[in-house]
Amino acid sequence: MKKINLQSSAIETNQENLTSTDQNITSSTTETPVDENTQIVHNQDSVSQLQTENDPEMKKKQKKMLIIMCVVAVVAGIGTGFGAHLLRAQQTRIEGGPEPAQMIAEGEFEVGDVFGIQDTDIFKDTAQGYLERGGINGEGSHRLLRPGGESQTVYLTSTVTDLDKLVGAEVKVWGETYKGQKAGWLMDVGKVEIIKVNGEAPFEEEL
């Protein structure tokens, strides 16, 4: 019986030693290793911080470049438009196209002469007849006599050209119609074309 007890106590002592050894091994293996990922994260944070510090300068440079590009584009557009205008004018002269209309007749005029504003797209109304001085009850400075009697007469004003110099001619006028209190048709003339230098009144006006 005494031999058995000695053996069991020896076994228990060996088990305790093994347990102690396992604990030492476990404690040695659970030591915190060097974390390489942590160093990488720190490096990335440093790069991000450096980029953030440089952002204001980059934005300033980008704004300057944008402003310069806008100025260059505007200047180029103006230059292109002006060059195209000169080219069209030169081609018109070379091809013998119509010259810009004179604003006011000077001296003698001929059939086909145009006075006033050349662009007729801005005028809605046209009329043709014999040009005389005089309006009706203060409306109009001139009148355009047309076939059909006085009811077809157009009373004219013009802030663009001098109609006095064209009196007695048969003309075609472009302009904009206004409502008159006495005049059946009141027009502000913007363009005049000479149809016949020495025109003839289509009817005799009643005095």
Segment 96-106, tens digit of pLDDT: 444 445 666 66
Total of domains in the chain: 1
Check pLDDT > 70 for residue 50: no
Evaluate if residue 148 carries a pLDDT over 80. yes
- Tell me which of 45 and 67 has the higher pLDDT: 67
Asked if pLDDT for residue 198 goes beyond 60, the answer is: yes
Structural domain includes residue 71: no
Q: Is 17 exposed, middle or buried (0-12, 13-18, 19+ CB in 10 A)?
A: exposed
In angstroms, the CA 148 to CA 145 distance is 9
| 69 membership: H or E segment, kind and range | helix 36-95
> Could you tell me the pLDDT band of residue 196, with boundaries at 50, 70 and 90?
very high
Please determine, for residue 30, whether its predicted confidence score (pLDDT) is greater than 50.
no
Work out the pLDDT band at 59, boundaries 50, 70, 90: confident
Average pLDDT, the chain: 72
Dist CA 83 CA 73 (whole Å)? 15
Question: Tokens in use for 145?
Answer: 């006599």
Tokens of 163: 């109609």
Task: Identify the band that residue 169 occupies on the pLDDT scale cut at 50, 70 and 90.
Answer: very high
Least Cα distance to 199 among 141, 129, 103, 134 occurs for 129
Give a yes or no: residue 33 inside a domain.
Answer: no
Per-residue model confidence (pLDDT) at position 89: 45
On whether residue 77 sits in a domain, the answer given is no
Q: What is the CATH number of the domain that holds 175?
A: 2.40.50
CA angle 197, 203, 207 (to 5 degrees): 115
203 domain-assigned: no
- Decide if 46 is inside a domain: no
> What is the model's pTM?
0.49
pLDDT > 50? residue 179:
yes
24 falls within a domain = no
Domain span at residue 176? 114-196
